[in-house]
Structure 1
């Protein structure tokens, strides 16, 4: 079969420098490091794969996997005739994946690390790695390679990397722990589970086994706990309503202009994370994008009037600009958060009475911080004045029981959003939900961990901080089982 050189040429021309570096890194188990280090062009990389028998006429499976791993689905489909779904099915077959789980883990970690976190890694590794290898152009993949050369990182040698991640970003550590758990066999998992139940200690990192809990006995999640848990057994659990405001052109065009509001670049990264996590938690996802204030009211009213009697919970995630106690529609008009939460009280939504109503709000609540260079705020403001409005926390959440309101930030303060990686709060929230829900942790424990992670971050150049704040009138433990 003739080798598809023309298609490979197109692929090589489409790959940028960072993507080529990623492909080389993912191929380190198959092509010697010395040879890969000398490669500067994608065409030379393809030739190296051919020399090692990793790419042949009629067999481009490894190249397909590489493009899938770096999320170049466009090239995978257009040039190699393979879809995301086909690759997902293919890689589920034992032995088909050629990129090792270890190498893919490192690549995923490198994708999630921020510029500030990269600087922290360089600083902490200053005594371990040559200074010439830790220059401003050094990427996280470069650091991993240097650590491997030094012998302080390997498939069976993750301890130093784990200690670094524990210092810099706990969610990175949790990703490594999940990888380690996935390597364990079923028998080993059961042994660890038994040890966890017998000792009750936090050291036994394992997935929570749903089979150990009777489905209709919510009070038995933890034998030592005196608190009952909300029933959470319906399928689906309920609706997860996502109100995602990105384009604020209508607000900027308004006369008089209410706020000089920038578009919220990066919000779609948050929305995707929320969709992924709450789908895994068995919620029906309903996402609405770029709604005016009136459209938000109408949308909320639709779900207020919906019959939730066969559901156990309701979740609403709001991603927008805001100020104290307020979120904005894309037309720049204000909506009190209290108006939205109060719509779902037992009096206004009878079928949710006695059931948990959860709201996560990603929006600024003031302007007490200045903006960073590559980080934007979700205030929509262009000045740095501090508002002096009345306190909002007691008014935003209804006095009625069974509500949880998770705010991205404290009153008077901005919250931060990366145009590439999403907001600090929503990304931390989704990571901790994904990690902790399978372990049976309740939502308040999870939100405490989110507080800790977000509070550790800082926005350069003035090292501003962000502190989320949950408010609640929950009467029971709120736990989202994954099974």
Structure 2
């Protein structure tokens, strides 16, 4: 395949957001006036060819750009992968550390952060509507409000908005060294590192005062799973035992229908407070998993026995021509259990074991995902913008069956938050990152790591207490789970 054909194929796999990211990263390599006139990634690639940064003999900038914007699945077209590029860019690269640091900041900004940043910055009004953080960074960079050696404006803003983002700037200032462009002598073919998320141990968090307007969600503690070593070279692969996962070990996702996605959404309870805002979570989950190719079925206001009946009915279905199974439960809960609207309990391990290989043979060997946003529902104060769910102590437990992932909204004994208009922090972050990262070829554990990060950076202050949240995924997956890239944009589902 010649270079132009390769660039054409890559362009067909990039969206408008990817194109804007590429333009930002190439500021300094391509004059701003030329960047402003570009309408597609092909225009950008053509200019890089004209300037000599990209040629058949020197293609390093191409995988570098794809790596930085998160299009890791396209690296295979260039005979490399994420692991190889991560190692290569420690020593070489065309894009400066300054530009990479700014882009990383933009990738970490939440909508709430962006509103605060726009409010705090002295920028023209045209940048205060329908703008993203990359647009703002471009303006600040072009007007020389910020530069490689002058980041005071951003530092001042992030002191108020996000200490984590401020740390990224400080790390850049401490370690910045110019990256010299260099093309590798040969295409590196390394296997991508395996991903592992371990269950974290619980820690108690105490809050004082009776005026905490949030919902503290229930979570059961799970056993810690061993993490495998990273795969870094082809020689390493030969040395690994058969049980270690490699890049080629991915759950098959080739059926016409991805599978069933069951959503249990409980809002009104016999003895517990209403879970206001949960309808936002349910609608978001429905749209996202429909976009991913699932047959979504939503059940609202289900009693405990009705929940058991629903699980049993899907256990009896034939999943032969489906790739996996997803179950999302949005309700109140207590230790090791979720509640029906009648306040009767359903044990979480019973729900999960319903779909074990011996109980549901057509799902044997296929991934089964459970995302649980469960609350205690007792002694709750009046709900305002944010509510608090209560949880009690738990015992250690994890499903014995393989191919299971349980995503809980928080670690045991800690708080989880639900906005009465926007939905829960956890479900909103989960959906948002599925939309953003599935088209980039990321696996489910990488996506949940980003969910952990996004939720952990949120905070809510009430009555002098700083409230935080840390989600907890636990899994017995044997392979990587990568959802196929949808053929349509997510916006079509709105």
Inter-CA distance 325–371: structure 2 relative to 1 (3 Å threshold):
farther
In 2, distance between residues paired with 1:343 and 1:456?
Answer: 35
Secondary structure at the residue paired with 1:321? strand
Inter-CA distance 426–140: structure 2 relative to 1 (3 Å threshold):
farther
2:481 corresponds in structure 1 to 478
After TM superposition, the structure 1 = structure 2 runs for residues 78-477 of structure 1, keeping only pairs within 5 Å, are: 113-114=111-112, 118-119=115-116, 121-123=118-120, 125=121, 128=122, 141=129, 152=140, 226-227=246-247, 228-248=249-269, 251-252=270-271, 261-364=272-375, 373-379=384-390, 387=392, 389-391=393-395, 393-394=396-397, 397-461=398-462, 462-477=465-480
Q: Is the 8 A contact 1:414 1:466 kept in 2?
A: yes
- The structure with the greater share of residues assigned to helix is 1
Q: Give the deviation of 1:323 after TM superposition.
A: 2.2
Secondary structure at the residue paired with 1:320? strand
2:62 corresponds in structure 1 to none
* Gaps in structure 1 of 5+ consecutive residues: 1-108, 134-138, 171-196, 203-221, 253-260, 380-385
Q: Give the deviation of 1:473 after TM superposition.
A: 0.5
In 2, distance between residues paired with 1:375 and 1:276?
Answer: 24
Inter-CA distance 429–371: structure 2 relative to 1 (3 Å threshold):
farther
In 2, distance between residues paired with 1:348 and 1:424?
Answer: 33
Query: Which consecutive segments of 4 or more residues in structure 1 shift more than 2 A?
Result: 116-123, 139-144, 150-154, 157-170, 197-202, 222-225, 364-373
In 2, distance between residues paired with 1:347 and 1:409?
Answer: 30
In 2, distance between residues paired with 1:370 and 1:463?
Answer: 18
Q: Is the 8 A contact 1:365 1:410 kept in 2?
A: no
Higher normalized contact order (CA 8 Å, seq sep 6+, divided by chain length): 2
Secondary structure at the residue paired with 1:410? coil
In 1, distance between residues paired with 2:424 and 2:154?
Answer: 24
Q: Is the 8 A contact 1:307 1:351 kept in 2?
A: yes
Q: Is the 8 A contact 1:238 1:315 kept in 2?
A: yes
Q: Give the deviation of 1:467 after TM superposition.
A: 0.6
1:368-412: per-residue Cα shift (whole Å, max 9, x none)?
999985101344xxxxxx73x342x52xx3111100000001112
In 2, distance between residues paired with 1:345 and 1:293?
Answer: 20
Q: Using structure 2 for the length normalisation, give the TM-score.
A: 0.52
Inter-CA distance 201–310: structure 2 relative to 1 (3 Å threshold):
closer
Q: Give the deviation of 1:113 after TM superposition.
A: 3.5
Q: Is the 8 A contact 1:242 1:286 kept in 2?
A: yes
Q: Using structure 1 for the length normalisation, give the TM-score.
A: 0.53
Q: Give the deviation of 1:284 after TM superposition.
A: 0.5
Superposed CA RMSD: 4.5
Deviates more, 1:263-272 or 1:159-168: 159-168
Secondary structure at the residue paired with 2:375? coil
Aligned residues: 300
Q: Give the deviation of 1:120 after TM superposition.
A: 5.6
